[in-house]
Each structure stands twice: as structure tokens, then as C-alpha cells.
């Protein structure tokens, strides 16, 4: 074998070694990347499991300042992770049950507040409806003299069916029941306002006849 043949053979050997090295290196590098990807995925999964446990436990123990909506959104996010962890699944069940109760309580309170607002609006509307009666009572109490008071009393009585229309005065309310002062009549009540010069009640309820005249008046102490 001459020198040229030896050089050619050596070159082929070197080329084979390089190709082999590249092939083996590429295969090893590919396996390494897959391993790193698996390790990264496992680390991310473990981190999510840990975070889910912390957040769910905090919600159960009321150790967050999140609103109900924020807590529900957090649970929704955790469920989207599809964690197959027994502890997380148990916590999710408990938290969803807790939030369902909180939602029911919130809806109940909202309904109570709505009804309260409606009742206040109703009372304001009634107060406005009875403003003509209220105005006459205040005017009689504020009259500078008996003559003026008597004129106002005569005008006020025209709003009532008779001078003997009963006037009921609520002095206290408890448990849905009213406690009334001694019954009187509209005539006597108007004379009382003239003498005392103070109107310390407000109209609570009025009953009318078919002619629009007042047949019963219910007042309540302010």
C-alpha cells in the first residue's frame, strides 16, 4: 500500500468517526431535551398542585380577602388545570360546597336589601300621598292664634267623612304588632294640635270611602 492509498484510507476512517460522533451526539441531545421537557412538565404540575392546595385551603379557612366572585374564578382556574391529585379533588369538593352556601347567603341578603329598598320607597310614596294631611296638621300646630287654628281645623275636617272618624296612634312596634295609644277622633286630635302647638307624629295609614273621604287615620309617633 503506497502513501497515497494510506492517506485515502485514513481520510475515510476519520469521516466515519465524525459521522458516527455526530449521529450519537444528536441522538443523545434529543433524548436529553425530552428528559428536560418531562422534568419541566413534572415541576410545573407539582407547582400547580401545591398552589391549588394553598389557595383552596385558604378559601376554606377564610384566610383571603377575595370577593365571592374572585374565589369562584380561582376555583374555576384550578379546575381547568385538570389536576389528578386526590387531596386537590377533596379540597375542590369542600370549597365548591362552601361557595355554594356563600352564594345562597349573598342572594338572600341581596333579596332582603331589595325588599327593604322597596318598602322604603313605598313609605316615601305614601308619605308624599299623605302630604296634604301632614301639611294641615303642621299648620294647625303652628297657628299663631286660635282663630287661625279653628279656620284650618274646619278646612281639615272637610277631608274626613265625619268629625268622629277614629284616629289611632301607634306608640311602639315589635314582632309585626303595633301598640296603640288611647283611641281618639279627628276632631279631638285637631283640637289637641291647636292646644299643644306640636305635631310629633306622621301619617302611617289612611282609609277612604267611595267619595274619597277619610274614614280612618293611623298615625305613628316619630
DSSP string of 39-72?
HHHHHHHHHHHHHHHHHHHHHHTT-----HHHHH
Residue 3 — very low, low, confident or very high, per pLDDT cuts 50/70/90? Answer: low
User: Is 80 exceeded by the pLDDT of residue 128?
Assistant: no
Q: What is the mean pLDDT of the chain?
A: 88
Tell me the pLDDT tens digit for each residue of 35-66: 888 888 889 999 999 999 999 999 999 999 99
- Residue 130 DSSP code: T
> Rounded mean pLDDT of 157-180?
94
Residue of higher predicted confidence among 9 and 84: 84
Over residues 152-179, the mean pLDDT reads 94
Mean pLDDT calculated for residue range 209-219: 95
What integer is the mean pLDDT of 74-91? 95
The C-alpha atoms of residue 71 and residue 63 are separated, in whole angstroms, by 11
Residue 140: pLDDT above 90?
A: yes
Residue-wise pLDDT tens digits, 153-162: 999 999 999 9
pLDDT surpasses 70 at 205: yes
Tell me what pLDDT residue 163 has.
Answer: 97
pLDDT in the model for residue 123 = 75
More confident residue, 13 or 161: 161
β-pairing verdict for 214-221 and 166-174: parallel
pLDDT score at 34: 85
Decide which of 120 and 12 is more confident. Answer: 120
Over residues 167-180, mean pLDDT: 91
Amino acid at each position: 500500500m503506497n502513501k497515497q492509498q494510506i492517506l485515502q484510507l485514513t481520510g475515510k476512517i476519520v469521516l466515519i468517526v465524525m459521522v458516527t460522533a455526530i449521529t450519537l451526539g444528536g441522538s443523545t441531545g434529543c433524548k436529553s431535551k425530552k428528559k428536560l421537557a418531562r422534568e419541566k412538565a413534572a415541576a410545573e404540575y407539582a407547582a400547580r398542585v401545591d398552589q391549588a392546595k394553598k389557595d383552596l385551603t385558604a378559601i376554606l379557612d377564610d384566610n383571603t380577602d377575595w370577593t365571592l366572585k374572585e374565589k369562584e374564578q380561582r376555583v374555576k382556574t384550578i379546575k381547568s388545570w385538570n389536576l389528578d391529585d386526590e387531596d386537590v379533588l377533596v379540597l375542590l369538593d369542600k370549597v365548591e360546597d362552601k361557595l355554594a352556601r356563600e352564594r345562597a347567603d349573598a342572594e338572600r341578603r341581596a333579596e332582603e336589601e331589595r325588599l327593604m329598598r322597596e318598602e322604603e320607597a313605598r313609605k316615601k310614596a305614601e308619605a308624599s300621598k299623605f302630604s296634604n294631611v301632614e301639611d294641615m296638621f303642621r299648620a294647625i300646630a303652628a297657628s299663631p292664634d286660635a282663630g287661625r287654628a279653628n279656620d284650618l281645623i274646619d278646612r281639615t275636617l272637610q277631608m274626613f267623612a265625619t268629625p268622629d272618624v277614629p284616629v289611632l296612634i301607634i306608640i311602639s312596634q315589635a314582632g309585626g304588632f303595633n301598640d296603640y295609644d288611647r283611641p281618639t277622633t279627628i276632631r279631638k286630635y285637631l283640637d289637641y294640635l291647636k292646644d299643644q302647638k306640636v305635631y310629633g307624629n306622621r301619617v302611617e295609614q289612611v282609609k277612604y270611602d267611595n267619595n274619597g273621604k277619610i274614614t280612618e287615620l293611623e298615625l305613628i309617633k316619630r
